[in-house]
């Protein structure tokens, strides 16, 4: 009888190990898919930057030709002033578009510890079973009975409603035009689990930063998949 019980226990352990192995394979595949998507997104963004730069160059040439042509003909001072104003507006719009398209975020480990006195809060949802990248961290969640299994960079923890998880402090640098630095701040993210519904895990997210960061720039750290809503 003891032998039968032992064999049953071994079979159960083997089944559990097999399930864990399959789950690890699935998560590895999800991480690989996320990495590939990130590479594809970066390639797409690079193409958009090149197109925007080329468009700006062509627009500049066209404007230069238009100015040269206007100088060949006498114009009233009022008409010339209006044209100059229109040109400046067009150039400003092009500059803004290029600036947005060339926004780039770099997240690294912290080299210096700073106070994080500024907090921006969001309500977010995480789709279950998907690996989501926030900065340089990869997060996946999966509900099990009344608990949530959360995995952050391979560190798994079970959560119940009301419990917190912390994404360790990182440094984020956001630049535009490749060289202009818009933001350089340390940040840490706290997630409070609010429950699960329709295969979505609900969290309150608090982003703590060492500097005051505009929401438009802070959202560069947050993937669209989590649908962050300010609270």
Q: Give the global pTM.
A: 0.57
The residue among 20 and 138 whose pLDDT is bigger is 138
In angstroms, the Cα distances linking 111 to 36, 107, 114, 171, 172 are 28, 12, 10, 8, 12
**C-beta separation of 10 from 16 below 8 A:** no
Q: Single out the residue of 169, 178, 177, 180 nearest to residue 221, CA to CA.
A: 169
State CA 211 to chain mean position distance. 18
User: Mean pLDDT over all residues of the chain?
Assistant: 87
Q: Single out the residue of 96, 102, 108 nearest to residue 179, CA to CA.
A: 102
pLDDT digits (tens, 9 = 90+) for 128-163: 999 999 988 999 999 887 789 999 999 999 999 999
How would you list the strands of the sheet with 132-134, edge to edge? 132-134, 137-144, 147-152, 155-159
Mean pLDDT of 197-207: 94
pLDDT digits (tens, 9 = 90+) for 171-191: 999 888 877 888 899 999 999
């Amino acid at each position: 009888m003891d032998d039968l019980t032992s064999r049953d226990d071994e079979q159960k352990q083997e089944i559990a190990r097999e399930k864990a192995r399959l789950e690890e394979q699935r998560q590895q595949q999800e991480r690989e898919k996320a990495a590939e998507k990130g590479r594809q997104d970066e390639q797409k963004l690079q193409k958009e930057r090149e197109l925007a730069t080329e468009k700006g160059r062509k627009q500049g040439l066209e404007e230069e030709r238009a100015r040269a042509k206007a100088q060949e003909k006498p114009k009233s001072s009022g008409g010339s002033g209006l044209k100059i104003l229109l040109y400046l507006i067009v150039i400003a719009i092009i500059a803004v578009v290029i600036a947005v398209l060339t926004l780039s975020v770099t997240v690294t480990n912290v080299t210096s510890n700073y106070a994080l006195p500024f907090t921006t809060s969001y309500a977010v949802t995480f789709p279950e079973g998907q690996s989501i990248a926030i900065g340089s961290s990869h997060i996946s969640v999966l509900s099990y009975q009344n608990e949530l299994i959360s995995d952050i960079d391979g560190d798994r923890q079970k959560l119940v409603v009301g419990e917190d998880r912390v994404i360790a402090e990182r440094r984020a640098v956001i630049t535009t035009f490749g060289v202009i630095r818009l933001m350089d701040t340390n940040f840490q993210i706290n997630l409070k689990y609010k429950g699960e519904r329709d295969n979505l895990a609900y969290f309150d997210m608090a982003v703590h930063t060492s500097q005051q960061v505009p929401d438009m720039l802070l959202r560069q750290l947050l993937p669209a998949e989590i649908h962050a809503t300010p609270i």
